[in-house]
Structure 1
Amino acid sequence: MQYRELGDLKVSEVCLGTMTYGQQNTLEEAHQQLDYAIAQGINFIDTAEMYPVPPRAETYGATETYIGKWLKKQKRDRLIIATKIAGPGRGMKWVRNGAKAIDRENLKQAVDNSLKRLQTDYIDLYQIHWPDRYVPLFGQSVYDPTQERETVAIAEQLSVFADLIQAGKIRYVGLSNETPWGVSEFSHAAKKLGLPKVASIQNAYNLLNRVFDWALAETCHYENVGLLAYSPLAFGMLSGKYLSKQPEKARITQFKGFGQRYLKTNVKEAVVAYVDIAQRYNLTPAQLAIAFVQSRWFVTSTVIGATTLEQLQENLDSLEVILSDEILVEIEAVHHRYPNPAP
């Protein structure tokens, strides 16, 4: 396991995603995964107040609670714990009575609630799960200015983070599902006003969705913001498991209407092509997909999740895979044929 810099933190090149805990995974299964992950050298664990997914009032906060029961038995200073505050506009009325704006009251309440569930005194990386302002999200790809809503100023958001850092409750600030404009504005406000610098951005990145390659890669390079790449297997699509059947316990099968961004035109055709590359080079499709994400210069850590230990083991085996120039050329050829079918 290699470790990379995120602020002054050293985080493992793979981050354990946990959004299945409390929905698809039991408490015992969650703790087995956590134990296995740290035994393999992972020190970076990512969660969110709204997890598990799909979000429901009945399971709200369960993932952090599961992690907290495990975390209290660990050496806390050896682990990097990241979580997120849910933003407005997603209709989750059970989240702090409506997942309100990213303002002082909601930030303080969300942090305190997460600290309690996680049974810890501090959060290493605290992220805004999606912007307070309107942006196209989770598969939407067209910006519509008529959808703009009242929003909390970015400088105001950062000022609250500054107070939370001063209080010792969080260490670093991160963004998620952000845009180039958003990263730039957070960075400029931090520099101008002496407020906390954004350390990371957690956005989807995989063989079916390489939108980050464009403006975000440039922005994050100049602002020194690392990518935490989530969904490297595109909701399991890139494992190839959906090509011949609909696995009963898979997320898209279990939860109808979920993961729509990965059910678009040319997704299946692209997956078939990538699976073919993997098979011809004696790799599993998952190994090819994760190794590609790991190869990108802007990735600080790849967020992987699994519903079984076997899946987690296969995902971690991908760390041993180094893609040859020949394979990368073939990947680029598929990408040009089917560019970003699931943005």
Structure 2
Amino acid sequence: MPASTQKRAVVLLVLLVVFGAAAVLSFTVGARAISFNTVLTYLTGSENLGQTDAAVLSQRLVRTLWAAMVGAALALAGAGMQGVTRNPLGDPGILGVNAGASFAVVAGITFFSVQSTSAYAAWAFVGAAIASVLVYSLASLGRGGATPVKLALMGAAISAGLGSLTTALILQNQNALDSLRRWQVGTVAGARLEDLTPGAFLLLIGALILLSGAKTINNFALGDDVAASLGENVALKRLLMALAITLLVGTSVALAGPIAFIGLMAPHTVRALVGSDYRALLPLSALFGAVILILADTVGRVILPPQEVQVGVTTVIVGVPVFIYLVRRAKAVNL
């Protein structure tokens, strides 16, 4: 077995162990501490469990599944975005995609009274797509085209503008002000089991498209001309990958609100461990993204008791230093 394959197998094993440990912490840690034995009793379906513990564990089960699903989707979208755009700073939050999806969902709630998760996902998909096109088009203007730093700066500007408009809409919607405000920050609290199925189906479609295109993304890294010479329909494949990324981001925002930096942290950490082969990078990034969001949610429950800190805040606390570090590494890139 090649050394690179062995290394990837080791990283996969470690991530699976860490994922299991994170899930256990998610079940046991919170305002009400629950023992591991009680968790085992719940998971094995035993009836020897108090109603309060059963209710808490039932909610934490859905919350853990929700965090794993959204974290994996955001990390997968971030890794795909970095590969498709050849931009090391690619992240749905940094490039304005989250902000576009968030604004679209809030606009749908405010003006059209949308309520279902599938409707949220549809509006978020459209908003994410429009924001993506807008950021890339504006960053392409001027000398040098859409460089990584120009994309990041334009994404920040678009995010700020759309964030202000989103806040203005939320303030006008008094009936749903509290829930929308919590959702806008990014949270998996209050997750409902009935919303998991439609969300999971949409995320699965996006994930399958992106994972099946791993070889194509590897070819993109060689440049468009080389990719075309290898038989790739560059424009069509890039559009297909972009649609998959937008679907992942839009659905994630619809489920949990705009959560930033996971799409930046997870791929860069995994890339440092296993290299830039997207056949390994994409699935491992998804697994690591799930770990990050589960741990962020768990930490947020206990960091400022008795209140909870939303995962959108805890991921930003960790993500900002990572982003600054990556920007410093990219200082040689021309604006």
TM range (shorter): under 0.3
Higher helix proportion (structure 1 or 2): 2
Larger relative contact order, structure 1 or 2 (CA cutoff 8 Å, min sep 6):
2
Q: TM-score, normalised by structure 1?
A: 0.27
Which one has a bigger Cα radius of gyration? 2
Higher strand proportion (structure 1 or 2): 1
